[in-house]
Structure 1
């Protein structure tokens, strides 16, 4: 029998699964604009976002384009995949780069590429990125001048790299430094700061530093400082 125009036809996609009239059920989620779907994703925890990105190609795309916070394992082998990563996550403003102490971390080249792909970064966290040098930090600072928060621990760049950030990132509000290996215990470290960032800095946290007194110029120049730890 061939169904005519007035016959009920079962739609396997929108069917309610029952008999009778076969009234379809609207797929309201598919009707949501990408902007609304992105707002939904932003209310989820990272694990749930990751699961949602696997539902379909559209969700994969929207989830990536709307993600603003990203944490990466910053081992040396991250370099080849950085372009494809930030093709997908091109709206990142808060980035964490963490390497375990037994592995070789990313080097300057990787940090420079990231800074070129993420010029709107406002927060950067570096952990055990021991292969980064003053040159890499200087290039990063010139590309990400809107940085508002920098937290670094167990890194090996020194005064020049820190001064590059303070000289280029005029919006910097929070600075946290722990075990900055580039400031050697016996060396005469160059003064750090104040730089253009001194006017905007509100919080400075310094922990387990050799020659921590080199931050004296920064502290004295930060006239709007509210918290010093």
Structure 2
């Protein structure tokens, strides 16, 4: 399991520099044209990297790996009448003008696809780190409690709350290593607010066949 975490980090770190490569080159080209001479590309690259990498990591942490979902739920302010402008541009001026009008209508939504690509590196690195954190938590997990929890979930076809799964004298915190173990190995699903746990149908079938 550690190999998976290391692989994510190893592939993710180089990808973190892709935004700096793309944007830095664009800034270098624009700056060179503006100042009339070709400057040192590496300066543009490293300055862009210093700015973009922390910002992308912060964005990935803040959106909890669901940047596109956040944009879909809250696309941000749009230009009044922007949708009609985009449609009119597509119909009257062609695809390129339509794309430009769509971007002006809602810049955040239009840029979300590129941002999602730029987040690939930070996402892989953070996933690798989370994987290591999970492995540390799971090192001393009680397998007998894992078995008991599976039995509890098998007894119901509905999602169960953490309170329902806790034994007498057991707190929700005590369940975290067990839940992490089951989630890591693909036995259960946990709701977005981490208050409901459900046994996957595939897991249920495996347990019935065992």
TM-score by structure 1 length?
A: 0.20
Name which structure has the greater RCO, CA cutoff 8 Å, separation 6+.
2
TM-score by structure 2 length?
A: 0.21
